[in-house]
Structure 1
Amino acid sequence: MLLLGIDGGQTSTKSCLYDHENGICLFASGPPIDHMLTFNGQVKTKQAIQQSLQALLVQAKLIRKVDMAFASISGVHKEHEELIKSWIAECVQVDACMIEGDVKANLSGASNGKNDGVLIIAGGGSIGYYFEGRREFVAGGYGHILGDEGSAYWIGLQSIKAGIRDSESRGPKTVLGKQILDHFGEESFWGIKKRIHADKIQRSHMAQLSLLVERAAADGDEVAQDILQRAGEELGGLAVSVLQQAKAYDSTLRLDHVYMTGGVVHSERVVASLKDTVHRYNAAVRISKPQYPPVVGALILSAQALQVRMDMSIVNLALQGDEI
């Protein structure tokens, strides 16, 4: 039984092959995908998926057919599923293939397939998610214009706004303003504004400012500390919303965890604030780290689709030698 998992994200594309009979699990990486709504985005996504698969198949040598594949693709739309399946088929023959967005594989990996808690993704964007098996419960996920509260992008945006308010004496003093101008090599926030509207400061650049905010907070800047605290409150609010939705649907559901994934969760201040927010709702819920990365979650979902039990010791051994 050969199972294939694919995780296409905005940072990189991971793939994983599980061979139960021979006790083998292999991992490979490729470049990031892009949004599928543009032609260039589709070209970039195809290249990312196929480069990752080709790197995987080099390790697998003669394997050219798998029983089940589960591809977790960030921002995927229903109309693109057959296209993605065709890209996979150009690299390897697949008897059955499922294409989904990134939340299911994230939750599956984080919970080791148990789905016993709410997933919070807090990277460039943010979303809260739980899948009961028949119904999905979602909070957030509306993108950087309408939402993404608590995300790295949101933190970066708040830091720029705080710098502007300080520069105009409309807000508290903060080191963030000067640090942001120095970071982008600008003399004033008018230059920042011009570059944002000209798409010369992109979402990824904005998200990178979250690292600057984290350093300023560690150095004692109260504005930076407040931004990180509010980020945690926003993410905690997403978790509470999903918990409430699930409880209203089925009061017998046992959701004991909030699984945190994404780059923002490395901030101790954000995590502490999120924890406080969740525990004000239910002190028994544990804030937990993911047990496995999303690509393993995709692998677990492929196994569940065929009702196959995976030997996770094989996966654990393979993970020890890979930086996934």
Structure 2
Amino acid sequence: MHLLGIDGGQTSTKSCLYDRENGTCLIASGPPIDHMLTLDGQIRSKQGIQQSVRTLLGRTANPPQTVDMAFVSISGVHREHEDMIKNWIQECIRVERVAVEGDVKANLAGASGGRNDGVVIIGGGGSIGYYCDGENEYVAGGYGHILGDEGSAYWIGLQAIKAGIRYGNGLGPKTVLYGRILDHFGEASYWGVKKQVHAGNIHRGDIAGLAVLVETAANEGDAVAQSVLRQAGSELGQLAVSVLTQMAGSPRASRVRKVYPTGGVFQSALWVRRSLEETLRAYDPAVEICDPQYPPIIGALILAAQALATEIHLPAMDRALQGGEA
């Protein structure tokens, strides 16, 4: 039996092939996907998925003729795109069954090691809080960078730009972000930044990339940068609180007292994660904040196995994550 997991994200696309009989697992990466609601986004997503899968198969000593089950985790997916994505995979390798879902399910499965015992909070390019008890889904956030994504890398970058603008206009406190953002984009003024944003030359990913710059400034003592990151952690914590509150009437509510922070934003342990922890403890000191056990790509593989009522050998996943076939 062969299982295929695919995790399409805005940073990279990962594929994972698991041979259950031999207990071997291999992971490969490809380009990022983009939002599926535009033609350009669909083209980029196809490239990301297919390059990732073909790289994976090219690294496999004896690639299978058929995969029994593939689980595709992809952000920004909608039901009308499922058949399209399935066809992209079938162009690379024959698959008996394919499931396509948004990225929250694989994030939850990976973070909890398949135990489904906590709320997952994604703080990456976007942000969302999620839990599913098998029948009902509980969601907070996930509205995208225009309508939401509070606490995400994009949100952090956007707040940094706004802080620079406010300081330049005499409306906000002094911050090193003012000059560093201009230097980062090679502009002499924020009018130049505005022009590049509206001309489409500064993209969503470029703004999200400023989160690293903000983290550096915060660690150097910049109060504005620290405030932005602390607010990001608070926003992400509130997503978790919202999901836990929604679950209050669920039969599983008393058994789900964990929160799994996932995504690159939480690499800011001193500012973002600490603020998230403070927000959750203020809500309920009994909530346990846990590091994710596995990344979403392994979560996709876990869900592929669950769809066939089988299991995977998790130590093989650990070896694969360390850098190769296990």
TM interval, short-chain normalised = over 0.9
Structure-2 residue corresponding to 1:295: 297
Matched to 1:71, the amino acid is: V
Q: Give runs of aligned pairs for residues 198-237 of structure 1, distance below 5 A.
A: 198-237=199-238
> TM-score if structure 1 supplies the norm length?
0.96
Matched to 1:50, the amino acid is: Q
Structure-2 residue corresponding to 1:276: 278
The whole-number CA distance in structure 1 between the counterparts of 2:93 and 2:16 is: 13
Deviation at 1:124, TM superposition (A): 1.2
The 1:251–1:14 alpha-carbon spacing in structure 2 relative to 1, beyond 3 Å, is closer
Matched to 2:43, the amino acid is: V
* Structure 2 counterpart SS, 1:75: coil
The whole-number CA distance in structure 1 between the counterparts of 2:63 and 2:261 is: 38
Structure-2 residue corresponding to 1:39: 39
* Structure 1 counterpart SS, 2:201: coil
Deviation at 1:251, TM superposition (A): 6.1
Partners of 2:247 and 2:253 within 8 A in 1: no
Deviation at 1:250, TM superposition (A): 3.4
User: How many equivalent residue pairs?
Assistant: 323
The whole-number CA distance in structure 2 between the counterparts of 1:321 and 1:178 is: 39
Structure-1 residue corresponding to 2:251: 250
Deviation at 1:252, TM superposition (A): 4.2
Q: Give runs of aligned pairs for residues 185-200 of structure 1, distance below 5 A.
A: 185-200=186-201
* Structure 2 counterpart SS, 1:27: strand
Structure-2 residue corresponding to 1:140: 141
Matched to 2:16, the amino acid is: C
The whole-number CA distance in structure 2 between the counterparts of 1:200 and 1:58 is: 35
Measured against aligned partners, the alpha-carbon deviations of 1:116-172 in whole angstroms (never above 9, x if no partner) come to 111111111111111111111110111111111111111111111111111122111
Structure-1 residue corresponding to 2:318: 316
Once superposed, which parts of structure 1, at least 4 consecutive aligned residues long, lie more than 4 Å away?
none
Partners of 1:125 and 1:141 within 8 A in 2: yes
> TM-score if structure 2 supplies the norm length?
0.95
The whole-number CA distance in structure 1 between the counterparts of 2:55 and 2:40 is: 23
- Gapped regions of structure 1 (runs ≥ 5): none
The whole-number CA distance in structure 1 between the counterparts of 2:315 and 2:212 is: 35
The whole-number CA distance in structure 2 between the counterparts of 1:264 and 1:270 is: 7
- Gapped regions of structure 2 (runs ≥ 5): none
Deviation at 1:59, TM superposition (A): 2.8
* Structure 2 counterpart SS, 1:148: coil
Sequence identity of aligned pairs in percent?
63
Q: Give runs of aligned pairs for residues 60-79 of structure 1, distance below 5 A.
A: 60=60, 61-79=62-80
The 1:266–1:62 alpha-carbon spacing in structure 2 relative to 1, beyond 3 Å, is closer
- When the two chains are superposed, the root-mean-square deviation of aligned CA atoms in Å is 1.4
Matched to 2:78, the amino acid is: H
Q: Which deviates further from its counterpart, 41-50 or 262-271?
A: 41-50
Partners of 2:24 and 2:316 within 8 A in 1: yes
The whole-number CA distance in structure 2 between the counterparts of 1:134 and 1:282 is: 25
The whole-number CA distance in structure 2 between the counterparts of 1:64 and 1:2 is: 10
Is 1:15 the counterpart of 2:20? The answer is no
